Amino acid sequence: MFVPMKEIVDQAYAGGYAVPALPSQNEVQIRATIEAAAATNSPLIFLTGNRGDAMFNHYMVKRFAEEVNIPVALCLDHSPTFEDCVMGIKTGCSAIMADRSIKSFEENVKDVSLLAKMAHAVNVSIEAELGHVGQGDNYAVDGVSSLTDPQEAKRFFELTDVDCLAVAVGTAHGVYVGTPHIDFERLREINAACGKPLVLHGGSGSGDHNISKACTMGITKVNIVTDVMIATNQAIIKAALPDTDAKFFYKVVHDATYNFAKHAFELTGCIGKAVACQQKEIASGGDLVYKE
Ligand SMILES: [Zn+2]
């Protein structure tokens, strides 16, 4: 079933586990990931972007989600502009991630508060980011430059009505140059101060042990994309399909994606955690009253 992301992260927070947020770039990837989630009774979050083919992928996610009895959410990842966020809502995402992490605290609060009102009015969830998660290829600088302050995070939740918050605690996007160091003491302090669902970006290459530990400390959603790409590409190379067997390409991609997704559910602790979620009615403004 297709649900607002808030339902998934709230249940994860209450249960002390997390859910992986995985890519939805094509039909085979979407189908294999949903199959793995259904087979393991795991809740699932898909990530998407506002690319040209996004709307088709959104339709597929929603249609496939209706076929399974597990909660599935679709989150528009890293939306830096007002227009991006509105487009994400229009194209059927059940969550938007309003990334204002390079703006000042005040500007971040102002933008996210407005977007939270808009999103919640149509039963769409909203994630924001405080501190800034940088790039793995600049890890020596990005890994430590803008870590999240626990008290600021607490104030951010109070001021914005955001459903979950991405925090910078030492992870980075893409492939790490250097060894990732997660600041677990900072994460513990953020969780203690906020008591709300937190999100870890840059899950790829961060170390299985680190991910699993973070998922017991308030992290409810772990974004993992690069590792899915690596696992898929390695499977394609290993298969070394001859020209006449190119038809098996999609099976190779399917199986690699399926296996990785199962691994991600194990890592985050969400296997068996799918529960029946009732999609709430779209918020109504009440009866229309015409006045002339
Ligand atoms: Zn990210």
What residues does the ion ligand 1 have nearby, CB within 5 Å? 201
Q: What is the pLDDT of residues 199-213, one digit of tens each?
A: 999 999 899 999 999
Residue 202 Cα to ligand 1 middle (Å): 6
Residue 131 Cα to ligand 1 middle (Å): 12
Q: Name the more confident of 245 and 8.
A: 8
Q: What is the pLDDT of residues 123-148, one digit of tens each?
A: 999 999 999 999 998 888 877 778 99
Q: Name the more confident of 40 and 140.
A: 40
Q: What is the pLDDT of residue 276?
A: 55
Active site residues: 77
As a whole number, mean pLDDT of residues 196-200 equals: 98
- 59 near 235, Cβ under 8 Å? no
Per DSSP, what are the bridge partners of residue 223? Answer: 21
Q: What is the pLDDT of residues 214-253, one digit of tens each?
A: 999 999 999 999 999 999 999 999 999 988 888 899 999 9
Q: What is the pLDDT of residues 95-130, one digit of tens each?
A: 999 999 999 999 999 999 999 999 999 999 999 999
Task: Please enumerate in sequence order all residues whose Cβ is within 8 A of that of 212, keeping only pairs 6 or more positions apart, or say none.
Answer: 267, 268, 269
Residue 81 Cα to ligand 1 middle (Å): 15
What is the three-class DSSP state of 238?
A: helix
What is the three-class DSSP state of 52?
A: coil
Q: What is the pLDDT of residue 86?
A: 94
Q: What is the pLDDT of residue 143?
A: 75
Q: What is the pLDDT of residue 283?
A: 36
Listed range (167-171, 188-192, 288-292) with the worst mean pLDDT: 288-292
Residue 282 reports pLDDT greater than 50: no
In angstroms and rounded to an integer, the radius of gyration of the C-alpha atoms of the chain is 19
Mean pLDDT of the chain: 92
Q: Report how far residue 101's alpha carbon sits from residue 111's, in angstroms, rounded to the nearest whole number.
A: 11
CATH of domain 5-268: 3.20.20.70
Parse the chain into domains and list their residue ranges: 5-268
Q: What is the pLDDT of residue 241?
A: 93
Q: Report how far residue 78's alpha carbon sits from residue 76's, in angstroms, rounded to the nearest whole number.
A: 7
Structure tokens that stand for 173 in this block: 């996007």
CA contacts within 13 A on the Cβ side of 51: 13
- 37 near 274, Cβ under 8 Å? yes
Q: What is the pLDDT of residue 288?
A: 46
Residue 90 backbone class (left: φ over 0; alpha: ψ -120 to 50; beta: rest): alpha
Residue 284 Cα to ligand 1 middle (Å): 32
Q: What is the pLDDT of residue 55?
A: 83
